[in-house]
């Protein structure tokens, strides 16, 4: 594509396309990266320039790009049965088999899978399930949801209210009533002077206990948490964080919803992020890597002890009045089934385990840069927190200015990363090799060196 054609396409974009999670005003004057194709861990723009996709799209293209088996699974299912509903006791084989596989992989001996289209609507479903469940049991005051500052759970009204990020709240009149946000478990930013990690966890645990007592345990339906915070800045919880807070939740009989949208299917080195951080989930939300990002699909996995009262109440009412047109879409389920098959057949999770140490050694090396306050990560995910003063941990003004510079230079050098404020997030496809890990971090180190001239 020549320059004139590209500029014309950019103008059509700016004239007609309403972009999500974008500075809409600056978008009108900035260049638009228009991608054309992908292969492996790389994507190519309309002029043929190659980029290493350092965020796996949006934390999701776990198997990389151009996987023909996934395209073939979609094509075969589209030809055979392009659409079918799961409403009113109708079903189809892809949804049945996918639900079976997910229960087998889950921590539950017996359970059920409810399908949706995105992590956002899946977390909406979580709220509605716990509301329905508690009303069915007569616990009609249990409506409040606890989440965490910087947690990300989606952008629908309910899931954005769970989310603890200002951009998802400002001008939207959110969060709605009944949603409460507790401390971000980030030792680097949140610890008091002379407070060690154990004391820090104890303080956060006590703060949770205090909030529950203030609001009333009988009013709280659940707490929701990501194993690690993705869009909040790749924040890794301190040692013993989840076992400590779950003691409090257990004491007050409050369920813990495990939002695995970013972490599930190998990202942290285990099938579930909950395994990595010793969470004991009452229910699970999944999306993204369930189909390697190739087609929209999400799911809520619940144990039968949560499902059975819902089932019985629906019998009394006459119907369970929740569901989406595309719940369990046969094409999405077929692609997800093939994705799970490839994970197992190609030993993708074993591969992650084999390259994670090398990945994290390159992450740790970044701590030597003057502009890096904390380089943190686990498995094949990391966050690099940029600071203007390393000793004082002082950030940049305005916040996000350094992140934008670094991300732009990375893109110019052929690496796509995500700037979350002044944290640079990287989360490459799980198929990345050790040599490609070196390629990614070599580009990033070069970009950071160039950026420091501008930001420090």
All structural domains of the chain with their residue ranges: 33-66+347-455, 70-345
In our burial notation (b when 16+ CB lie closer than 10 A, e otherwise), range 80-101 reads eeeebbbeeeeebebbeebbeb
Does pTM surpass 0.75?
Answer: yes
pLDDT of res. 3: 87
pLDDT of res. 145: 98
The span from the CA of 310 to the CA of 418, in Å, is: 40
Closest CA to 456 of 383, 388, 380: 388
Say if domain 33-66+347-455 classifies as CATH 3.90.1150.10: yes
The span from the CA of 232 to the CA of 250, in Å, is: 26
The span from the CA of 10 to the CA of 410, in Å, is: 21
Mean pLDDT by 10 residues, the chain (456 residues): 91 96 95 97 97 98 98 98 98 98 98 98 98 97 98 98 97 97 98 97 98 98 98 98 98 98 98 98 98 98 98 96 98 98 98 98 98 98 98 96 98 98 98 98 98 94
What CATH code is assigned to 70-345? 3.40.640.10
β strands within 117-178, DSSP E: 144-148
Supply angle C-alpha 289, 294, 295, rounded to 5.
Answer: 95
């Amino acid at each position: 594509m020549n320059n004139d054609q590209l500029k014309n396409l950019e103008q059509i974009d700016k004239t007609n396309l309403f972009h999500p999670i974008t500075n809409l005003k600056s978008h009108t004057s900035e260049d638009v990266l228009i991608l054309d194709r992908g292969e492996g861990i790389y994507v190519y723009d309309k002029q043929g320039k190659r980029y290493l996709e350092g965020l796996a799209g949006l934390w999701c293209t776990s198997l990389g790009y151009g996987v023909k088996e996934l395209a073939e699974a979609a094509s075969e299912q589209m030809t055979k049965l392009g659409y079918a509903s799961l409403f009113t006791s109708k079903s189809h084989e892809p949804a049945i088999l996918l639900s079976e596989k997910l229960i087998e992989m889950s921590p539950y001996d017996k359970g059920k899978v409810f399908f949706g289209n995105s992590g956002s609507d899946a977390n909406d479903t979580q709220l509605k399930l716990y509301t329905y469940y508690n009303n069915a049991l007569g616990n009609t005051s249990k409506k409040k949801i606890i989440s965490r500052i910087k947690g990300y759970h989606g952008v629908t009204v309910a899931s954005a209210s769970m989310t603890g990020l200002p951009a998802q709240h400002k001008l939207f009149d959110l969060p709605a009533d009944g949603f409460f946000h507790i401390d971000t478990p980030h030792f680097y930013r949140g610890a008091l002077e002379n407070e060690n990690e154990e004391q820090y966890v104890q303080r956060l645990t006590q703060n949770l206990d205090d909030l529950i007592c203030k609001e009333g345990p009988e009013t709280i339906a659940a707490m929701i948490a990501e194993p690690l915070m993705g869009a909040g800045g790749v924040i890794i919880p301190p040692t013993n964080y989840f076992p400590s807070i779950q003691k409090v939740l257990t004491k007050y009989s409050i369920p813990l919803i495990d939002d695995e949208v970013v972490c599930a299917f190998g990202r942290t080195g285990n099938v579930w992020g909950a395994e990595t951080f010793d969470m004991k989930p009452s229910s699970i939300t999944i999306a993204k890597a369930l189909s390697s990002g190739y087609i929209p699909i999400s799911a809520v996995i619940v144990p039968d002890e949560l499902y059975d009262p819902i089932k019985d109440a629906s019998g009394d009412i006459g119907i369970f009045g929740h569901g989406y047109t595309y719940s369990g879409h046969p094409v999405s389920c077929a692609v997800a089934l093939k994705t799970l098959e490839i994970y197992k057949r190609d030993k993708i999770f074993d591969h992650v385990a084999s390259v994670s140490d090398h990945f994290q050694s390159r992450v740790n090396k970044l701590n030597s840069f003057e502009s890096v306050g904390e380089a943190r990560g686990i498995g094949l995910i990391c966050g690099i927190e940029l600071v203007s003063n390393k000793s004082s941990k002082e950030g940049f003004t305005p916040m996000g200015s350094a992140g934008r510079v670094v991300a732009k230079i990375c893109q110019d050098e052929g690496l796509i990363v995500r700037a979350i404020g002044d944290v640079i997030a990287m989360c490459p496809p799980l198929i990345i090799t050790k040599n490609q890990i070196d390629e990614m971090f070599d580009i990033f180190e070069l970009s950071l060196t160039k950026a420091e001239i501008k930001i420090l």
